[in-house]
Structures are given as structure tokens and as C-alpha cells.
Chain A
Amino acid sequence: MIRVQENDFDIGAELESLVKQNHKVGGFCSFVGLVRDMADNESIGAMTLEHYPAMTEKALAKIDDEANTRWPLEASLIIHRFGRLEPGDRIVLVATAAAHRQDAFEACQFLIDWLKTQAPFWKLEETKEGSHWVAARDSDDQAAQRWDK
């Protein structure tokens, strides 16, 4: 399941509804991304996440489909927020449920690695010196590339 929203989400409630009533699930993994208060030795006051609404859901659905093709998942979830967020705020939740832990762990890592290089979101960081767009990192590309077939 995919959700793109401005509002916060409740991690416990989301994870519970992901696996509810499905007793084929042996376990699940989740990753929650948060806004940090420092980046490259600069203090961050807030950040604004811009996105391309018409493409975001399509791109996330494609990533979710790919994970479900590669691993035998019982359920998967991606929630990504947009708008203005402050340090400590939740940005993203990805979760995967499977019969066995290895599938859940791998698929969870895959989802966040691919999301970071594919989903059309852009971070604008606010610092004391002004605002600047976050540049993409080579390390994120490398993390995504390890899943290339």
C-alpha cells in the first residue's frame, strides 16, 4: 500500500494494520526516516519536501510492485510525507511483512534504497544562512545499485 500525505502517521497503528488478521506473517521489518537537526555541519531549522504529485504515487507503486515481485511478501507499506517538517519529525515509513525474516529485511532495505533514488521528492533545508536544496548523494545511488539485477 502507498500513501503520500502532509500529515504525520502513527507508526504503531500503521504496523498493526499491516499484519492484522494475516497469520501467514512470521515477522515484519520497518524503517522510519526522520528530519535531522544537522547536515554537513550546518544546523537545520526546518525542511520543506516538494514533490511531483502526479508522478509520486506512480513511482512509489512501481517500487512497491518491484519489491513484491522480488520477495514473497505478505504485505508492504510506504508512507511518505511532504510539506514543511521540523527536526525530529517523521518523513517516511516503509514496512514489509513476510513468512520469514530474511525476505522482510531485504525487501525493506530495497524499498527505502530505491525510494531515495526514484521517488520524485526534493528537500529544501532552512539554515541560519538561508535555504538550500539538498544535493543527491552518490552513496544513495550506490545503495540503490546493489539491488540491480
Chain B
Amino acid sequence: MKLLYFSWLREKIGIAEEDALPPESVTTVAEVLGWLKSRGSGYETALADLSLVRVAVNQSYAKLDDPVGPEDEVALFPPVTGG
């Protein structure tokens, strides 16, 4: 799974992107977030308040119960502030 982090999520996690293989039990967006939280204090801090985290799967906005597979690109970022 290709994971991308933007804005302060990138700063708190400490990297912009990584390739990582989640456990087989991880099949939804919510489960990806739960798995990432267990990967270290940076992840835990970044994902402490999920109301501030948006997720895109393959460059489209995804909901917590949307399916995710090992071949997907999953991006985590705060609410957007462009324009």
C-alpha cells in the first residue's frame, strides 16, 4: 500500500510517503487508520483527532467504511485550505 501524508500530518508523522503492507485483517479506511495509529508515536499524535483527518483512496475522497486493498494509494491530510 502506498501511503501519502500532507501538511501537518506529514510533519507529525515525519515522512511524506511510504510503502507499507498492512495486516490482512485491514480492509477498510477505518482499519487503515487504526493500524497506522499503532505504528508509533508520530502516527498516534497525527491521528489523535480523526475529525481533522481526511482520506483519499486512489486520489478520490473516501469514507471510513470504504474498502482498501494492498495495491491502493491512500493519502491522509487535514481539511483543505486552498483558493
- Mask, B40-83, CB within 8 Å of A = 1, is 00000000000000001001110000000000010101111111
* With contact pairs A52-B77, A91-B83 given, residues A122 and B59 touching in the complex (Cβ less than 8 Å): no
The majority secondary structure among interface residues of chain A is mixed
Q: Is B8 an interface residue (CB 8 A)?
A: yes
Q: Is the CB of B6 within 8 A of A50?
A: yes
Residue A101 is within 8 A (CB to CB) of chain B in the complex: no
Interface size class of B (residues with CB under 8 A): 10 to 19
A51, A52, A117, A134 — which one has the most chain B CB atoms within 10 A of its CB?
A52
* Residue A26 is within 8 A (CB to CB) of chain B in the complex: no
Question: By the criterion CB–CB under 8 Å, are B83 and A58 in contact?
Answer: no
4 residue pairs, one from A and one from B, having the closest CB atoms: A121-B82, A136-B79, A116-B83, A122-B7
Listed in ascending order, the chain A residues whose CB lies under 8 Å from chain B are 33, 49-52, 54-55, 58-59, 80, 91-92, 112, 115-124, 133-136, 140
